[in-house]
Structure 1
Amino acid sequence: MRDQVERAEKPERVSKTRDLLTGAQALSGQLGKTIQRLRKAYNLSLSDLAEQSGVAKSIISQIERNETNPTLATIWRLSQALDVSIERVLAAGDEEPFIEKTSRADTPILLSEDGKVRLAIVGWIKTVEWLQWYEVTADPGGVLDSDPHQRGSVESLSVSEGVFEVEVGGTLQRARPGETLRYRCDRPHLVRCTEGPGRATMVVIMKAAVME
């Protein structure tokens, strides 16, 4: 869903969302230097990279100077244009001890168009190409209308509060607390909170060939 990210001009994303990604301080320290280093390694100007990635030249310049916190979709487009994985773009030193803590204030949030469904991105940024997970909170009647993800993708919605329903390809299923819905998300799909407030965990497996 959320897939926040795909290739070039078509990032995996929540359809028609307003991106409220804030903070992202864990990324900003090395991201700009890495983008600049890779760009120069390919002898690309800012204009060249802007043309190839679909990201505005001014935004790339701000990223390289660590003056902005880019969205997952923007990072994805840049990584594709530079022909490297998003993991490499975001990689830190392999020798450093690893333990990471993210505060509530620094957790990126996606908001549905109607403003009634909120997705906190609690998954690790380095797994975004193949695995994403979110904490979902929703007001009654809130709707999350999503574009298809890549072929073979599967989404899992585990409800802890309220009642949610999922519609995929004309098929509708409802889930109450303690129940989980799993469904193909490589086609248009809709999640609706019918009774709330609602709370759920959403996990998206992006590259599992489970439907083949």
Structure 2
Amino acid sequence: MKGLEDEQTRKLIQQMGGLLRKIRSEQKLSLEELAEKTGVSKLTLGKIERGETNPTLGVVWKITEGLSIPLTRILVMDDHVDLSRCGEGFMIYGPDQTWRVETVFRNTDGPTMEIYRAFLEPQAMYSPEPHHKGAMEFVTVMRGNISFKVEERVYQLKQFDSIKFEAASKHLYKNIGEEEAVLHVVVRYPS
């Protein structure tokens, strides 16, 4: 199974690079201009476009924010039917590896919605980069207990509790339990 996962990851990284190059070209941006818009170095952008590196979630957020596109626009596999099994999707890790998101469904037609499974280690925290302006985020706790901070307000969520908020708001996830928390995350972009 590990070989299949490695092959799928390699294929997705190459497709992501090709899509990034295509989108950058459509927007008539040089690598230098994209680096300026995103805060991601020209060298890193070039490696991503050539499929030579698997970027972190923070880097991908910066790129999609700079291009004004949903994250899943560059996380696409060329399949006609998309079946998502937990643990088999494309995984992106936070900086300290205690937070990870797995894409559930991806679409190349400029989707207005993204769906993820997110996992947060016990007692760990994750504060994501600000998301696209006007986007809404919907989070449901599937397993565990989460302390969720949006701007200055803190909410306690337990299994099957949900929260909705503007995704560009500063927010922080904290697993206050002793087991890995599992979340279902939907991001809806403005049309």
Output the TM-score relative to the length of structure 2. 0.65
Contact 1:152 1:184 survives alignment (8 Å): yes
**Structure index of larger Rg:** 1
The residue correspondences of 1:82-101 to structure 2 (distance < 5 A) are 98-100=80-82
Structure 1 gaps of 5+ residues are 1-21, 43-47
The residue correspondences of 1:45-84 to structure 2 (distance < 5 A) are 49-54=30-35, 56=41, 58-59=43-44, 62=47, 66-68=51-53, 72-73=60-61, 76=64, 80=67
- Aligned position for 2:112: 130
Question: Cα offset for 1:87?
Answer: 8.8
Q: Which has the bigger relative contact order, CA under 8 A and spacing at least 6?
A: 1
Aligned equivalent of 1:111, options 94, 113, 121: 94
Residue-pair matches, total: 175
Structure 2 gaps of 5+ residues are 1-7
Runs of 4+ in 1 over 6 A off after TM superposition: 83-92
Partner SS for 2:182: strand
Question: Cα offset for 1:34?
Answer: 8.4
**What amino acid does structure 1 have at the position aligned with 2:93?**
L
Decide whether aligned partners of structure 1 residues 162 and 106 sit closer, same or farther in structure 2, where only a CA change above 3 A counts.
Answer: closer
Q: Percent identity?
A: 18
- Aligned position for 1:158: 140
Decide whether aligned partners of structure 1 residues 128 and 108 sit closer, same or farther in structure 2, where only a CA change above 3 A counts.
Answer: farther
What is the rounded CA distance, in whole Å, between the counterparts of 2:128 and 2:122 in structure 1?
18
The residue correspondences of 1:175-194 to structure 2 (distance < 5 A) are 175-194=157-176
Render the CA deviation track for 1:20-61: whole Å, top value 9, x for unaligned: xx9151462595398379859x6xxxxx82211116555565
**What amino acid does structure 1 have at the position aligned with 2:182?**
R
Decide whether aligned partners of structure 1 residues 141 and 100 sit closer, same or farther in structure 2, where only a CA change above 3 A counts.
Answer: same
- Aligned position for 1:10: none
Decide whether aligned partners of structure 1 residues 90 and 145 sit closer, same or farther in structure 2, where only a CA change above 3 A counts.
Answer: closer
What is the rounded CA distance, in whole Å, between the counterparts of 1:116 and 1:87 in structure 2?
22
What is the rounded CA distance, in whole Å, between the counterparts of 2:41 and 2:183 in structure 1?
35
User: Are residues 1:207 and 2:190 paired?
Assistant: yes
Output the TM-score relative to the length of structure 1. 0.59
